[in-house]
Amino acid sequence: MMFHIGNTIVSLDLLEKEFCCDLEVCKGCCCIEGDAGAPLTIEEEEKIRQLLPLLLPEMRKESRQVVEEKGISYFDPTGERVTQIIDGKDCVFARTDKNGWCYCVIEKLYNQGRTDFRKPMSCYLYPIRLAEHPTFTAVEYHRWDICHPARVCGKKLHLPIYQFLKQPLIERFGEEWYNELCLVAEEWKKQK
Encode pLDDT of 175-184 as tens digits. 999 999 999 9
User: Which backbone phi and psi does 85 adopt, to 5 degrees?
Assistant: -130, 160
Angle between helix axes 175-191 and 166-173 (nearest 10 degrees) is 130
Helices (H) and strands (E) in the chain, counts: 10, 10
Q: Are residues 91 and 177 in the same domain?
A: no
The pTM for the full model equals 0.90
pLDDT attached to residue 190: 85
Same domain? For 132 and 120 the reply is: no
The pLDDT of residue 75 is: 94
Same domain flag for 43 and 112: yes
Q: Domain check: are 85 and 120 in the same one? A: yes
**101 and 67 within one domain:** yes
Please report the pLDDT score of residue 33 as a whole number.
Answer: 76
CA 84 to chain centre: 15
Query: What total of structural domains would you count in the chain?
Result: 2
pLDDT < 50: residue spans in the chain: none
What pLDDT, on a 0 to 100 scale, did the predictor assign at position 116?
95
Mark which of 126, 155, 170 sits at the end of a domain: 126
Q: Are 152 and 75 in the same domain?
A: no
DSSP lists the bridge partners of residue 140 as 129
pLDDT at 26: 79
Q: Could you tell me if 84 and 4 lie in one domain?
A: no
Q: What is the pLDDT of residue 82?
A: 94
Q: Which domain holds residue 14?
A: 1-19+128-192
14 and 100 inside one domain? no
**Are residues 40 and 71 located together in one domain of the fold?**
yes
Q: Which helix (H) or strand (E) holds 25?
A: helix 23-26
Q: Are residues 148 and 183 in the same domain?
A: yes
Q: Would you state the pLDDT for residue 87?
A: 83
Check residue 2 and give its pLDDT. Answer: 87
pLDDT at 108: 95
pLDDT of residue 7: 95
Closest CA to 86 of 70, 107, 103, 102: 70
Same domain, 139 and 72: no
Q: Which of 76, 96, 126 marks a domain boundary? A: 126
Looking at the fold, whether 45 and 108 belong to one and the same domain comes out as yes
Q: Considering 71, 94, 126, which residue would you say is the last residue of a domain?
A: 126
